[in-house]
Amino acid sequence: MNSDYDRVSLKTILRRVHEDEDGQVSLETILVIGLIALPVLIFLYKVGWPMIKGYFMTGMEELEESRDDFIEP
């Protein structure tokens, strides 16, 4: 009941994994996307987020003022 997989040595498995380049393109693509996305995310966090936060805080303050005017005419 011995199959060919039972007789494969660790050295043979490591050589097959090392020579296999099928995932190389996918890995390189993921790394390139990461290298592009990281500066964009840092920029949005440092520059864009305070602007977005200020926009929503102003909107919330206006909404609260409108609510107060509606409750207490």
Looking at residue 73, its pLDDT comes to 56
Looking at residue 40, its pLDDT comes to 92
Looking at residue 1, its pLDDT comes to 47
Residue 8 Ramachandran class (φ > 0 left, ψ -120 to 50 alpha, else beta): beta
**Is pTM beyond 0.75 here?**
no
Domain count, the chain: 1
Looking at residue 6, its pLDDT comes to 64
Is 12 inside a domain boundary?
Answer: no
Those residues of the chain that have pLDDT short of 50 are 1
The pair of structure tokens assigned to 5 is 């997989």
Is 4 inside a domain boundary?
Answer: no
Looking at residue 5, its pLDDT comes to 57
Is 53 inside a domain boundary?
Answer: yes
Is 6 inside a domain boundary?
Answer: no
Amino acid symbol at 35: L
